Amino acid sequence: MKRGHLIGAFSIPGSRRIRLVLSIIFIALATAFIMTIYEVGLVVLFPKITVWQSIITDVTFTTIMAPLVALYILLRFEGLYGRISKEIEERKRAEEELEAAKKQAELYLDLMGHDINNLNQIALGYLELADGMVKDEEVKMFIKKPVDAIANSSKLIENVRKLQKVKTDGLNIEAIDIDSILIELRGRYLNVPDKDVIIDYTPGRGCLVMANGLLKDVFSNLIENAIKHSGPSKPVWIGVGLERYKEGEREYCKVAVEDNGPGISDEQKDKVFERFHKANAKTGGKGLGLYLVRSLVEDFQGTVRVEDRVPGDNTKGSRFVVILPAVEK
C-alpha cells in the first residue's frame, strides 16, 4: 500500500478498525515468515530430531517468539500510525486555513465590488447631470473621460467576479447555439457612441456547443477588443465567421472574429492572453478581457488563438479564432 493511500485510509471514519485489522495481518504474516525459517533451519541443522523433540521445540519457540514478534510489530506500527496521524492533522489544519483564507478573499471581493459599483453609480449620476447642464463641447469631452474610466472600472469588477466564479464554482454547462449569441452581439455593438462600427456576419449557420451563459462573454470581449483598439480616423470593420468542421472522429465549431485595426505584432501574440497584459497602454482596461476569454474557452474544452487577418502582415488587423467541440447531431 502506498503511503498516500495509507494516510487516506487512516483519515476516514472507522480508521481504528482498519488499524486493528492491519496489525493482526502484519503479526500473522511476520509470525508465519519466522516460523517457516525456523522449521527449515530445524530440519537442516537437526535432521535426526524426534517428533516429540520437534513438538516441544516448536511450542517453546512459538511461546517465546510470537509475543516478541507481536510486540515489535505493534511498537513499529504505533510509531507509523503516530506519524500518519500527525500528517493527517497537519493536512486538515492546512486545508481549514486555506478554506478560511478563500472565504475571506471572496468576502473582500464581494464587499469591494459592491461598494465600488455603488460609488461608480453615484459618480456617473453626477457626471450625467453635469453633461446635461453644459453646452461647451470641450467641457463635454472632459466629462466623457471620467465616464469612460468609471465604465472601465465597472467592467474590471465584472470580469474579476466572472473569473472567480469560473475558478471556484465551476461551470454548469448545456447545449448552446453560437449563432444566436453572435446575432445578439451584432445588434448590441452596431450602435456604439462615437464609433462607426460595421459588423459583417451572416446568420443561420447554427452550431451547438456545450457551454453556459458565459460563452457570450467570450465573443463580446473579442468584439469589444476590436472596437477599443481601432483607430479614430476610419470606420471599425469587424468580420465574424462561424463554421462547423470535422477533424478525425470529432466535429468542432470554429468562430473567427477579425478586424481592420492596427493588428498585433508577432512578439505580442503569445502574450495577449496573459493575465494583466495590455498590448496598448493608451487604451482602457486592465488586461483581464482576453485572459477571461482564454479561461472560459479552456473550461469549455476549447482553444483560442490570435493570428494576422492578412497572413504575413500584422499591420492589417487581427483575427481571433475560437474552436469548441460541437454537440453531436
Structure confidence at residue 306 (pLDDT) = 95
Q: How many domains does the chain have?
A: 2
Q: In this structure, are 264 and 306 located in the same domain?
A: yes
Four-residue CA torsion sign, 208, 211, 215, 218: negative
* pLDDT tens per residue, range 101-132: 777 666 666 666 666 777 777 887 878 888 88
Residues in the chain predicted with pLDDT less than 70, given as ranges, are 1-20, 23, 27, 62, 65-67, 69-71, 73-82, 84, 104-115, 152, 159, 162-171, 231-233, 275-288, 329
Q: Considering only CA atoms, which of 78, 82, 38 is closest in space to residue 61? A: 38
Structure confidence at residue 144 (pLDDT) = 77
Q: In this structure, are 136 and 264 located in the same domain?
A: no
Going by the DSSP 8-state scheme, the letter that residue 232 receives in this structure is T
Q: Considering only CA atoms, which of 245, 172, 170 is closest in space to residue 207? A: 245
Q: In this structure, are 64 and 206 located in the same domain?
A: no
Q: In this structure, are 116 and 200 located in the same domain?
A: no
**Separation between Cα atoms, residue 17 and residue 209, nearest integer Å:** 49
Q: In this structure, are 301 and 319 located in the same domain?
A: yes
Sequential DSSP letters for 49-77 = --HHHHHHHHHHHHHHHHHHHHHHHHHHH
Q: In this structure, are 175 and 283 located in the same domain?
A: yes
Strand ranges across the sheet with 303-310: 197-200, 236-247, 250-259, 313-325, 303-310
**Separation between Cα atoms, residue 227 and residue 221, nearest integer Å:** 10
Structure confidence at residue 25 (pLDDT) = 75
Q: Which residue, of 169, 190, 211, is where some domain finishes?
A: 169
Structure confidence at residue 286 (pLDDT) = 42
**Separation between Cα atoms, residue 284 and residue 268, nearest integer Å:** 18
Secondary structure element (H or E) that encloses residue 189, with its range: helix 178-189
Sequential DSSP letters for 114-172 = HHHHHHHHHHHHHHHHHHHH---HHHHHHHHHHHHHHHHHHHHHHHHHHHHHHHHH---
Q: Considering only CA atoms, which of 257, 260, 283, 258 is closest in space to residue 151? A: 283
Helical axes 137-169 vs 51-133, angle rounded to 10°: 160
Q: In this structure, are 217 and 121 located in the same domain?
A: no
Q: Which residues contact 174 (CB under 8 A, 6 or more apart)?
A: 210, 211, 212
Between strands 313-325 and 250-259, the pairing is antiparallel
Structure confidence at residue 124 (pLDDT) = 79
Q: In this structure, are 154 and 33 located in the same domain?
A: yes
Structure confidence at residue 305 (pLDDT) = 95
Q: Which residue, of 137, 169, 201, is where some domain finishes?
A: 169
209's grid cell: 456547443
Q: In this structure, are 141 and 273 located in the same domain?
A: no
Q: How far is CA 280 from the centre of its chain?
A: 27
By CB atoms closer than 10 A (0-12, 13-18, 19+), residue 281 is exposed
| Cα separation values, 269 from 159, 273, 299, 307, 311, Å | 21, 8, 21, 7, 14
| Cα separation values, 317 from 92, 200, 219, 306, 314, Å | 52, 15, 17, 11, 6
Structure confidence at residue 74 (pLDDT) = 64
Q: In this structure, are 27 and 162 located in the same domain?
A: yes
Q: In this structure, are 41 and 4 located in the same domain?
A: yes
Structure confidence at residue 258 (pLDDT) = 95
pTM of the model: 0.57
Q: Which residue, of 118, 135, 169, is where some domain finishes?
A: 169
For residues 163 and 295, the answer to whether their CB atoms sit within 8 Å is yes
Domain residues for the domain of 212 are 171-325
Structure confidence at residue 19 (pLDDT) = 64
The CATH number covering residue 317 comes to 3.30.565.10
**Separation between Cα atoms, residue 25 and residue 19, nearest integer Å:** 10
Q: In this structure, are 218 and 281 located in the same domain?
A: yes
